[in-house]
């Protein structure tokens, strides 16, 4: 029972990370109807930069974290201003492929600069745990959950009550109509990309916490947020967050129990379990559990 | 005056010629150049050319699905791995002839493609792209764990092709001409690519090819007009995976080994970059794209010793060549998408059009000038 509770807790923490990454995907999808394949690279950029500032330059963790988040948000903004701005009327296909181009460039640049060698995350918690009776809850996981919940709440308030949030919701529901009432789509897109970069960095830094470490390959893990947005439906923010938590829990429970009860599925099955869940869900509901089926028009 | 213009126009005429010349002449020229090429280039570039041909074959397969049918797939690497491991099992474990194991790689990948297609069919656009990423990871997981087929994470050896008494490892002597292993791989890949291109060209002109275009350009409109969307997509999937399987068998064989790690998302993205840079939905686009992406990598490899910012030769610092190439083709991907979505082939068309317009202007300036000035 204790094992189960600990796995569940770890799953919720991991789910918090996925929820943040999934939120990044959804924010961009709602603003511009594309999936950002570079989200994983933005996450890696933030995590690697933060770890590097701490380990190579001795910056305090919080300062490094702030710089990492700022740079990642700026990278998202820069991509919007330098590239996507010119693609606003192009087909979805083009825009998706543009994000793939960005992913390729950032991935290669990070690999060239930092290599594959894992770095310590540099966070103040390390491997320390909070003792409750016999069980120990890692502080990293506690802080991941707290941060994720706070950030998601802040986003919810921003989306619900601020003018920019209203503009973003309007643009998501009908871009042309939003334009007609004087909402600047360019500004909406810029906010979306900066936000996506920001949550990606936060997700990356917490993903790199103990027992993991940080390397450019951390972007692979971010792809596991795809099943989360599929579960939740790409266009639903709440769905994406819920999907993130579900996938995190599924993954950690699989990691904990599959080697014992279903060893025929092979080693490290937990790394692909989210994809299996995703394909099963899509077989039954092609637009995700909460996604809306778009109306088709000739 | 005329000679100056002729000199200046040579480069653009070459590109324009590729696009505008009668297809038969261009193909014939390509075949002749292709056959003679191994005798001109050294072993380094011959090997690079073999890679270009193998990647062109793979890219041609992806283009059937993405360029011609409009389905975004990032799972191409998965189908290459099916072809490679089928080849390894049949060629090395069962000692069959390459006449069997190379096509079998294609057939196996085609069958798997056919099995996956109905799932993919239910998904539109971006959802398919996401699921195909899952396919790559699930494929890597399976091949890492099914060690008796794939050799596990460390990979396994791949067979060198043998056709009866002809063994690639020993080379081939025809009279005074000796063709070494690289040369034999070159001609094998060349023949397979030519056959695949012929097939894809004819496919494009068939009923099925027109259906694919309809699905790409307006799925619902096509369905209303009587195109069987489901069947078209499944066929595109099968054809695309089949070509990928053959390319995968060749890829592993030329590399001598195959590990599950090779068939990753990066490989898939490379194929996407090739068809976009080369030009989607065209016969020569994938070939030009492969030439570009692999030519770039080889050229950078070649220059690495003399460029201070690249790793290689005597200096160990600097950027790894693979990363430098990835940065360049990633940027190219972005530039082409923004400036010329039809790729290098589109540039050729554009130049041909400009030349034709200039010729018309020269022959009848008075008549055309009013038209062009009003249209801007």
Residues 6+ apart with CB under 8 A from A29: A35, A36, A229, A234, A235
Strands B162-163 and B166-167: antiparallel
Per-residue pLDDT averaged across A43-68, rounded?
A: 89
Distance of CA A237 to CAs A21, A250, A279, B128, Å? 11, 20, 21, 21
pLDDT bracket for residue B251 (50, 70, 90):
very high
Q: What is the pLDDT of residue B17?
A: 54
Q: Which residue, chain included where needed, has tokens 């025809």?
A: B174
Alpha-carbon distance B257 to A70, whole Å?
Answer: 44
Question: Dihedrals φ, ψ of B206, to 5°?
Answer: -85, 175
**In the numeric block, which tokens belong to residue B119?**
């799932």
Q: Are B338 and A83 an interchain contact pair (Cβ–Cβ within 8 Å)?
A: yes
CB contact under 8 A, B330 and A93: no
What is the C-alpha radius of gyration for chain B, rounded to an integer number of angstroms?
22
- Give the model's pLDDT for residue A296: 61
List, in sequence order, every residue forming a beta bridge with A132; answer none if it has no partner: A135
Helix (H, G, I), strand (E, B) or coil at B315: strand
Among A26, A95, A98, A104, the strongest candidate for a mutation testing the B interface, having the largest count of B CBs within 10 A, is: A104
pLDDT for the residue B190:
93
Task: Sort out which chain A residues have CB atoms less than 8 A from B327's CB and list them.
Answer: 104-105, 108-109, 112
Phi-psi region of B174 (alpha: psi -120 to 50; beta: other; left: phi over 0): beta
| Interface mutation target, options A80, A91, A112, A115, chain B, most CBs of B under 10 Å | A112
DSSP helix/strand/coil, B319: strand
For B319, name the nearest residue in chain A, comparing CA atoms only. A112
The predicted-structure confidence for A80-103, as pLDDT tens digits, reads as follows 888 888 887 787 778 888 998 999
Summarize pLDDT for B261-283 with one digit per residue, the tens.
889 888 999 999 999 999 998 99
Instruction: Tell me the nearest-neighbour CA distance from B319 into chain A, angstroms.
Output: 5
Taking a C-beta distance cutoff of 8 angstroms, is the pair A286, B127 a contact? Answer: yes
Burial (Cβ within 10 Å: 0-12, 13-18, ≥19) of residue B91: buried
Give yes or no for residue B227 having a pLDDT over 70: yes
- A-chain residues within 8 Å CB-CB of B154? none
pLDDT of B316: 64
List all residues of chain B from 319 to 358 with a beta carbon under 8 Å from chain A: 319-320, 322-327, 329-331, 333-334, 337-338, 341
Instruction: Give the pLDDT confidence score for residue B54 in this predicted structure.
Output: 95
Q: Which residue has the higher pLDDT, B131 or A126?
A: B131
Compute the average pLDDT of residues B296-308. Answer: 77
Residues 6+ apart with CB under 8 A from A134: A2
Between CA A140 and CA A129 the distance in angstroms is 8
How many C-beta atoms surround the C-beta of residue B375 within 10 A? 6
Select from B129, B131, B220 the Cβ nearest to the Cβ of A298. Answer: B220
Q: Chain A within 8 Å of B128 (Cβ-Cβ)?
A: no
d(CA B28, CA B372): 37
Is the CB of residue B182 less than 8 Å from the CB of residue B43?
yes
Q: Is A223 on the interface with B (CB under 8 A)?
A: yes
User: What does the pLDDT look like over A144-181, one tens digit per residue?
Assistant: 888 888 988 898 899 889 998 899 888 888 888 888 99
At A230-256, the pLDDT tens digits run 887 777 788 888 888 889 998 888 888
Distance CA A31, CA A167 (A): 10
Check residue A297 and give its pLDDT. 59
Q: Which residues pair with B157 in a beta bridge?
A: B257
Contact assignment for B330 to A103 by CB distance below 8 Å: yes
**Using the beta-carbon criterion (under 8 Å), do B70 and A93 form an inter-chain contact?**
yes
Q: Which residues of B touch A222 (CB under 8 A)?
A: none
A32 touches chain B (CB under 8 A): no
Tell me whether residues A266 and B131 touch, CB distance under 8 A: no
Instruction: Quote the pTM value.
Output: 0.87
Question: How many Å lie between the alpha carbon of A255 and the closest alpha carbon of chain B?
Answer: 14
Least confident stretch, B13-17, B142-146, B156-160, B172-176: B13-17
CB of B130 less than 8 A from some CB of A? yes
| Model confidence pLDDT, tens digit, residues A251-270 | 888 888 888 787 778 778 88
Please name the helix (run of DSSP H) or strand (run of DSSP E) that holds residue B258, with its range, or none.
strand B257-258
Instruction: Quickly state the pLDDT bin for B314 (edges 50, 70, 90).
Output: low
Q: Name the average pLDDT for chain B.
A: 84
Cβ–Cβ under 8 Å, residues B265 and B323: no
**How high is the pLDDT of residue B375?**
46
Residues 249-278, chain B, touching A (beta carbon < 8 A): 265-266, 269, 272-273, 276
Looking at the predicted structure, is the pLDDT value of residue B332 above 80?
A: yes
Write down the pLDDT at residue B110: 94
What does the pLDDT read at residue B20?
Answer: 53
Q: Would you state the pLDDT for residue B373? A: 52
Q: Do B331 and A105 touch (CB under 8 A)?
A: yes
Q: What is the tens place of the pLDDT at every residue in B3-35? A: 545 545 555 655 555 555 556 777 788 888 888
Contact between B264 and B139 under an 8 Å Cβ cutoff? The reply is no
pLDDT band at A208 (very low <50, low <70, confident <90, very high): confident
Whose tokens are 């996506």? That residue is A196
The 10s digit of each residue's pLDDT in B80-138 is 999 999 998 898 888 888 888 899 999 999 999 998 888 777 776 677 888 888 899 99
Contacts of B75 in chain A (CB under 8 A): none
- Cβ contacts of B269 on chain A, cutoff 8 Å: 100, 103-104
Chain B residue with Cα closest to A90:
B338
Q: Which two tokens stand for residue A79?
A: 């991509």
Min distance B128 CA to chain A CA atoms (Å): 10
Looking only at the bridges linking them, the beta strands covering A129-132 and B172-174 are unpaired
Residue B72 to residue A98, Cβ atoms within 8 A? no
Interatomic CA distance for residues B74 and B138, integer angstroms: 13
Which pLDDT does position A210 carry in this prediction? 65
Q: How confident is the model at residue B1 (pLDDT cuts 50, 70, 90)?
A: very low
Does the distance separating the beta carbons of B124 and A266 come in below 8 Å? no
Is there a contact between B327 and A97 if contact means CB atoms under 8 Å apart? no
Task: Calculate mean pLDDT across residues B192-206.
Answer: 93
CB-CB under 8 Å, A278 with B131: yes
Contact in structure between B336 and B276 (CB atoms under 8 Å): yes
What are A273-291's pLDDT values in tens digits?
A: 888 888 888 777 777 777 6
The two structure tokens encoding residue A182? 């004087």
Out of A36-45, A121-130, B196-205, B240-249, pick the least confident.
A121-130
Alpha helices in chain B (DSSP H): 2-20, 23-40, 43-65, 76-88, 98-121, 126-145, 147-150, 181-205, 207-217, 219-224, 229-255, 265-278, 285-303, 321-339, 343-363, 365-375
CA dihedral B144, B150, B154, B157 (to 10 degrees): -160
Residue A289 sits at the chain B interface (C-beta within 8 Å): no
- In this structure, how many other beta carbons lie within 10 angstroms of the beta carbon of residue B362? 9
CA separation, residue A178 to residues A91, A167, A217 (Å): 19, 8, 39
Considering only alpha carbons, which residue of chain A is nearest residue B309? A112
- Is A97 close to B329, i.e. CB distance below 8 A? no
Mean pLDDT for all residues in chain A: 84
Provide the pLDDT for residue B4.
47
Q: How far apart are CA B225 and CA B340, in angstroms?
A: 31
Q: In angstroms, rounded to a whole number, what is the distance separating the alpha carbons of residues B38 and B52?
A: 13
B63-76 average pLDDT score:
91
State yes or no: pLDDT of A69 exceeds 90: yes
Per-residue model confidence (pLDDT) at position B106: 94
Q: In A, which residues are within 8 Å of B331 by CB distance? A: 101, 105
């Amino acid at each position: 029972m204790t094992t189960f509770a600990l796995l569940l807790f770890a799953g919720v923490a991991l789910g918090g990370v996925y929820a943040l990454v999934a939120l990044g995907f959804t924010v961009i999808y709602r603003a511009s109807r594309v999936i950002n394949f570079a989200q994983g690279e933005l996450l890696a950029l933030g995590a690697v930069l933060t770890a590097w500032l701490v380990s190579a330059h001795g910056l305090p963790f919080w300062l490094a974290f702030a710089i990492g988040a700022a740079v990642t948000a700026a990278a998202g903004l820069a991509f919007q201003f330098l590239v996507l701005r010119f693609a606003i009327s192009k087909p979805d296909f083009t825009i998706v492929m543009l994000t793939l181009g960005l992913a390729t460039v950032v991935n290669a640049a990070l690999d060239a600069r930092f290599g594959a060698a894992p770095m310590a995350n540099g966070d103040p918690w390390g491997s320390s745990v909070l003792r409750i009776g016999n069980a120990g809850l890692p502080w990293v996981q506690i802080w991941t959950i707290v941060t994720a919940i706070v950030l998601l709440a802040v986003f919810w308030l921003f989306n619900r009550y601020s003018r920019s949030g209203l503009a973003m919701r309007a643009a998501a529901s009908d871009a042309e109509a939003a334009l007609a009432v004087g909402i600047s789509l360019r500004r909406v897109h810029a906010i979306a990309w900066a936000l996506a970069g920001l949550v990606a960095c936060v997700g990356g830094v917490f993903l790199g916490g103990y027992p993991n470490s940080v390397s450019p390959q951390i972007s692979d893990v971010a792809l596991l947020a795809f099943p989360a947005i599929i579960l939740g439906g790409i266009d639903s923010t709440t769905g994406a967050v819920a999907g993130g938590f579900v996938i995190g829990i599924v993954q950690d429970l699989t990691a904990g129990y599959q080697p014992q009860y279903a060893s025929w599925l092979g080693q490290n099955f937990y790394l692909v379990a989210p994809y299996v869940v995703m394909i099963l869900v899509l077989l039954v509901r092609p637009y995700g559990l909460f996604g809306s089926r778009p109306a088709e028009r000739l | 005056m005329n000679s100056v213009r002729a000199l200046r126009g040579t480069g653009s005429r070459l590109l324009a010629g590729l696009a505008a010349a009668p297809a038969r002449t261009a193909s014939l020229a390509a075949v002749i150049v292709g056959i003679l090429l191994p005798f001109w280039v050294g072993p380094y570039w011959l090997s690079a050319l073999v890679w270009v041909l193998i990647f062109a074959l793979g890219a041609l397969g992806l283009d059937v699905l993405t360029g011609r049918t409009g389905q975004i797939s990032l799972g191409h690497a998965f189908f290459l791995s099916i072809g490679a491991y089928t080849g390894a099992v049949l060629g090395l474990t069962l000692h069959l002839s390459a006449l069997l194991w190379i096509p079998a790689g294609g057939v196996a990948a085609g069958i798997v493609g056919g099995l996956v297609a109905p799932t993919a069919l239910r998904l539109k656009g971006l959802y398919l792209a996401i699921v195909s990423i899952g396919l790559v990871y699930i494929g890597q997981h399976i091949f890492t764990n099914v060690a008796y087929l794939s050799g596990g994470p460390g990979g396994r050896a791949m067979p060198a092709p043998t056709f009866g008494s002809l063994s690639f490892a020993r080379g081939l002597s025809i009279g005074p001409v000796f063709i070494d292993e690289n040369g034999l791989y070159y001609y094998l890949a060349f023949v397979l690519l030519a056959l695949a291109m012929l097939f894809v060209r004819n496919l494009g002109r068939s009923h099925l090819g027109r259906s694919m275009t309809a699905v790409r350009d307006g799925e619902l409109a096509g369905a209303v007009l009587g195109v069987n969307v489901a069947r078209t997509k499944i066929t595109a999937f099968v054809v695309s995976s089949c070509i990928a399987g053959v390319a995968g068998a060749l890829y592993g064989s030329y590399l001598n080994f195959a590990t599950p790690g090779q068939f990753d998302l990066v490989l898939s993205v490379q194929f996407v970059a090739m068809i976009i840079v080369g030009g989607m939905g065209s016969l020569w686009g994938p070939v030009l794209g492969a030439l570009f992406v692999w030519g770039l990598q080889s050229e950078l490899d070649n220059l690495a010793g003399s460029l201070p910012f690249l790793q290689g030769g005597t200096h160990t610092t600097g950027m790894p060549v693979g990363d430098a190439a990835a940065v360049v083709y990633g940027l190219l991907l972005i530039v082409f998408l923004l400036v010329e979505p039809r790729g290098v082939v589109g540039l050729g068309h554009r130049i041909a059009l400009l030349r034709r317009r200039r010729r018309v202007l020269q022959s009848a300036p008075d008549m055309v000038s009013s038209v062009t000035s009003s249209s801007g």
